[in-house]
Chain A
Amino acid sequence: MDHSDKTSPSEAKPMGRRDFLTTLGWGALFASIASTGAGMIRFLFPNVLFEKPTRIRVGRPDDYSPGSVTYLESSRVFILRNDKGFRAMSAVCTHLGCTVNKDAGSNSYSCPCHGSKFDENGGVVRGPAPKSLSTCEVTLAPSGHMVVDLKSFVPPNHYFRV
């Protein structure tokens, strides 16, 4: 660098042509590297996923008897029916995503990975799970089938009535 001008720093001189071009050059280099890097990171986020649909048809309301708990294995969701209506409770543990099992002989649920326990409404009884099992939104399709949206959640006291 050429430091030939001996003016004191307080006298702010306008930037010389050489300094300006040097700054511009370095700036352009870093900007291009940064934007390439940002593009590279964006590239890693897939836009289209070949995953299973999150809206699934689960049959007609009459397929479920009152007071029953039905586990739909491929969708990892429990369909609960009681006198208040229908509730689709996700079987994905809120801790680290394992599949919870319904305990034999009782209406409670437990996770095999880290030992979380949930009561009959999906509330946490004990274990590391930070929140209760999610409740998915249930709607009725014009065909008369119930549709569960696995990615749309409603409060646990929200029951679907036919």
Chain B
Amino acid sequence: MSEAPQHRANWWRVFGAPIVVGVLSLAGLLSALLAGDPGRYFSWFALGVPLAIAAWAYLRKA
């Protein structure tokens, strides 16, 4: 489950998800500052993504 199906290093496979999480985090940090109430709600979602990923990794069966 945890090992990649093909043992071939692929830059996008390794860094793709972290980049998406990073962009969402940055958008969340700025949206609460710049976009009023909608921005505040979006920030909760965007900055909550890392928490959701960690919870998913913790609860997922090995």
Partners in one complex: no
- A residues sitting closer than 8 Å to B (CB atoms) are none
